[in-house]
Amino acid sequence: MNVSYQQAAEFLLQSDDFVILCHQNPDGDTLGSGYALWNALTNLGKRAVIRCSDPVPHKLRHVTAGYREEPFEPKTVVSVDIADEQLFGEGISEYLSKVDLAVDHHASHAFFAKRVLLEPDAAANCEIICQLIRELGAPFTPQIAACLYTGMATDTGCFKFSNTTPRTHRLAAEMMEAGCDYAAISRAIFDAKSAGEFAIEREALNSLEVHFGGKAALIVLTQDMYRRCGVTEAEADGLSGLPRKLEGVEVGIAIKERGPGEYKISMRSAEYVNVSELCRVFGGGGHLRAAGCSINGTLDEVKTLILGAVGRVLEETV
Amino acid sequence: MNVSYQQAAEFLLQSDDFVILCHQNPDGDTLGSGYALWNALTNLGKRAVIRCSDPVPHKLRHVTAGYREEPFEPKTVVSVDIADEQLFGEGISEYLSKVDLAVDHHASHAFFAKRVLLEPDAAANCEIICQLIRELGAPFTPQIAACLYTGMATDTGCFKFSNTTPRTHRLAAEMMEAGCDYAAISRAIFDAKSAGEFAIEREALNSLEVHFGGKAALIVLTQDMYRRCGVTEAEADGLSGLPRKLEGVEVGIAIKERGPGEYKISMRSAEYVNVSELCRVFGGGGHLRAAGCSINGTLDEVKTLILGAVGRVLEETV
């Protein structure tokens, strides 16, 4: 059942002993939503805990400031920024089919909860949480502002993606006025890099190859490079977007060694190549402009296979 | 003489045949200011040209859309985002001591013009131009919005730097409503990189030095590197922000060779060092968290001088 902001707020005000669920592999929007709501409910004198299948990434740890847990028997389950129960993950599977209120902004929302507060035009779920907290009559503390700013900034790629709206900017302005340290938050989530991340980026740039008259670019990341730079595969994952940033590149390819003779390939396209289809040839898939697949073989074999497929598609679409 | 928005607008409305001056090595804010003002004045039926010592960088070329020049005898000189006549450069030196109105947001403004519209709290000079255009009663066309958005986004590092204010976000929202293609602009100015820019970034990463227990980081950019990578100084200018991105760094330093024995230093701080004061020691200036100066000598001499000054400040502020 779809509910309005007022109905969602009334439900929260009448309930207590909350479990707030965030999606697996959590990003700034699900965590910002969850921790903002935790702060708002706690400030209203209610009890709440947050549950997520995976830990809070290092760059987002500021959203957890002030968080604490007391033991209590959960009575009310709220999910934030979760489009589908498949995104619960193992760690919170006990709450499957038990969500009392889902707050979400995905157009693909699967309506798994008793009540759904859905606004698919919101750039970030945190925009909805912002309005919901206003409706609850809870004060916008600096910590709540920090959580909500984090979600809005991350889900819009720092206000750059085409989902950003004038409302996103105006709410960001309000969060700044509510006292969040947006500059420190932005540095942490967008700019700050460890020495290892700098080192692996340099190595990735050194591996950059350009093919097909500049229409494709490729980098290689190996286990040796991760070891040498002291980074995890997850920390290096953002580099998958690097080859497509080269001007004129339609297909950006990152070949990432998983183990001996095992490679994961990430592909990004700029404007017209369907990389999801391209990756399906190798048993993979994904989105139109961002997809992946796995191939076993030597690095040279993998490169030849991938470049062959990319070359054919680029030729067809010229 | 300081003038108000109303006085500046009255002066512009009473004048005609404008030369609009942008600073050398132009960035998004000086060009966004200049081209927005050109559009506004032209839409009011006036004649204007834009002059700058250096060409418009490739990724900012969208601000020039619709720009055209007719021959006329210039009568009124307006400078935008120029703190000091030293930033005119050779190409516009004929206008030295001839500026009728300077519109600027640098706290270090040198008051070289007959009239000065100065707002040092503005994150971007484009915020001032925005208010000035409102005062002129000129319409906010999509092209003017694109110019002003460009200046606000670039001077705040995409709304991330601590100079960003709630007003910056609210004006960005207004520019979006006025019809600028902010997503395409953001891709062009923040994400797309030429092969030369990739190459110079790699060289800059190779030059990275860390000092004072990780509190300062430094890169060097030389004319040799520009030549080797096939980029202009302006195209490499964005790299000034790179050293501060290293986690734990308070002061990021970029030493940029301008000519034999001539260096320009860009400094950025994260949280507490006043780099404007730091640069003033060497005859430079700028903003609290982003400033610059020029020093002549060998690279080693320049490095020693700068690191000495940075080390002293870091010691004092511990």
The ipTM assigned to this model is 0.85
Task: Report the gap between the CA of A232 and the closest CA in chain B (Å).
Answer: 17
CA distances from A177 to A142, A146, A180, A286, B318 (A): 9, 11, 7, 39, 29
Which residue's entry shows tokens 């925005």?
A: B130
Structure tokens belonging to residue A153: 């900034």
Assess A272–B contact: CB distance below 8 Å, yes or no.
no
Task: Report the gap between the CA of A93 and the closest CA in chain B (Å).
Answer: 36
Residue B318 scores a pLDDT above 70 = no
Nearest residue of B to residue A192, measured between CA atoms: B245
CA separation for the pair A1, B115 (Å, rounded): 63
User: Are the Cβ atoms of A169 and B173 closer than 8 angstroms?
Assistant: yes
Per-residue pLDDT tens for B45-71?
Answer: 999 999 999 999 888 999 999 999 999
CA separation for the pair B269, B250 (Å, rounded): 5
Q: How many CB pairs under 8 A join A and B?
A: 105
Which residue's entry shows tokens 């760094």?
A: B249
Nearest residue of A to residue B58, measured between CA atoms: A247
Nearest residue of B to residue A244, measured between CA atoms: B192
Encode burial over A38-74: b for 16+ CB neighbours within 10 A, e otherwise: bbbbbbbebbbbbbbbeebeebbebbbeebeeeeeeb
Confidence band (pLDDT; 50, 70, 90) for A238? confident
> Of B96, B25, B83, nearest to B54 (Cα)?
B25
Return mean pLDDT, chain A.
95
* Residues in chain A within 8 Å Cβ distance of B244: 191
Of A176, A183, A194, the CB nearest to B166: A176
Return mean pLDDT, chain B.
96
* Contact between B98 and B77 (Cβ < 8 Å): yes
Of A72-81, A141-150, A187-196, B83-92, minimum mean pLDDT range: A187-196
Per-residue pLDDT tens for A112-136?
Answer: 999 999 999 999 999 999 999 999 9
Assess B223–A contact: CB distance below 8 Å, yes or no.
no
Per-residue pLDDT tens for A243-277?
Answer: 999 998 999 999 999 999 999 999 999 889 999 89
Per-residue pLDDT tens for A33-58?
Answer: 999 999 999 999 999 999 999 999 88
Assess A208–B contact: CB distance below 8 Å, yes or no.
yes
Confidence band (pLDDT; 50, 70, 90) for B186? very high
Structure tokens belonging to residue B172: 């960005």
Nearest residue of A to residue B167, measured between CA atoms: A173
User: Are the Cβ atoms of A159 and B159 closer than 8 angstroms?
Assistant: yes
Confidence band (pLDDT; 50, 70, 90) for B187? confident
User: Are the Cβ atoms of A206 and B202 closer than 8 angstroms?
Assistant: yes
User: Are the Cβ atoms of B162 and A183 closer than 8 angstroms?
Assistant: yes
Structure tokens belonging to residue A66: 């002030």
Per-residue pLDDT tens for A98-114?
Answer: 999 999 999 889 999 99
User: Are the Cβ atoms of B160 and A190 closer than 8 angstroms?
Assistant: yes
Nearest residue of B to residue A209, measured between CA atoms: B195
Length of chain A: 318
Can you give the pLDDT at residue A290? Answer: 81
How are strands ordered across the β-sheet holding B216-221? B209-211, B216-221, B251-259, B262-269, B290-296, B285-286
User: Are the Cβ atoms of A201 and B206 closer than 8 angstroms?
Assistant: no
Structure tokens belonging to residue B303: 């490095």
CA separation for the pair B156, A182 (Å, rounded): 12
* Residues in chain A within 8 Å Cβ distance of B271: 184
> Of A122, A145, A167, A124, nearest to A29 (Cα)?
A124
Task: Report the gap between the CA of B132 and the closest CA in chain A (Å).
Answer: 21
Nearest residue of A to residue B190, measured between CA atoms: A160
- Which helix (DSSP H) or strand (DSSP E) does residue A168 occupy? helix A166-177
Of A172, A184, A198, the CB nearest to B208: A198
Residues A71-96, mean pLDDT to the nearest whole number: 96
Residues B83-112, mean pLDDT to the nearest whole number: 97
Nearest residue of B to residue A188, measured between CA atoms: B247
Helix runs in chain B, H state only: 5-14, 28-43, 125-136, 142-155, 166-177, 182-186, 195-206, 223-229, 233-236, 275-280, 299-316
CA distances from B176 to A39, A245, B17, B171 (A): 32, 24, 30, 9
Residue A127 is classified by DSSP as H
Name B102's Cβ contacts closer than 8 Å, sequence gap at least 6.
B78, B79, B82, B109, B111, B112, B113, B115, B116, B117, B118
Structure tokens belonging to residue A259: 């183990």
Of B173, B198, B206, the CB nearest to A246: B198
Assess A187–B contact: CB distance below 8 Å, yes or no.
yes
User: Are the Cβ atoms of A246 and B177 closer than 8 angstroms?
Assistant: no
- Report the share of chain A in percent with pLDDT over 90: 86
Residue B207 scores a pLDDT above 70 = yes
Can you give the pLDDT at residue A141? Answer: 98
Can you give the pLDDT at residue A108? Answer: 84
Structure tokens belonging to residue B13: 């409305």
User: Are the Cβ atoms of B247 and A177 closer than 8 angstroms?
Assistant: no
Neighbour-count burial of A170, counting CB atoms closer than 10 A to its CB (0-12 exposed, 13-18 middle, 19+ buried): middle
Ranges of beta strands (E only) in chain A are 18-21, 48-51, 76-80, 101-104, 115-118, 209-211, 216-221, 251-259, 262-269, 285-286, 290-296
Per-residue pLDDT tens for A272-294?
Answer: 999 989 999 999 887 788 889 99
* Residues in chain A within 8 Å Cβ distance of B167: 173
Residues A230-248, mean pLDDT to the nearest whole number: 88
Residue A318 scores a pLDDT above 70 = no
* Contact between B299 and B257 (Cβ < 8 Å): yes
Task: Report the gap between the CA of A48 and the closest CA in chain B (Å).
Answer: 32
Residue B26 is classified by DSSP as -
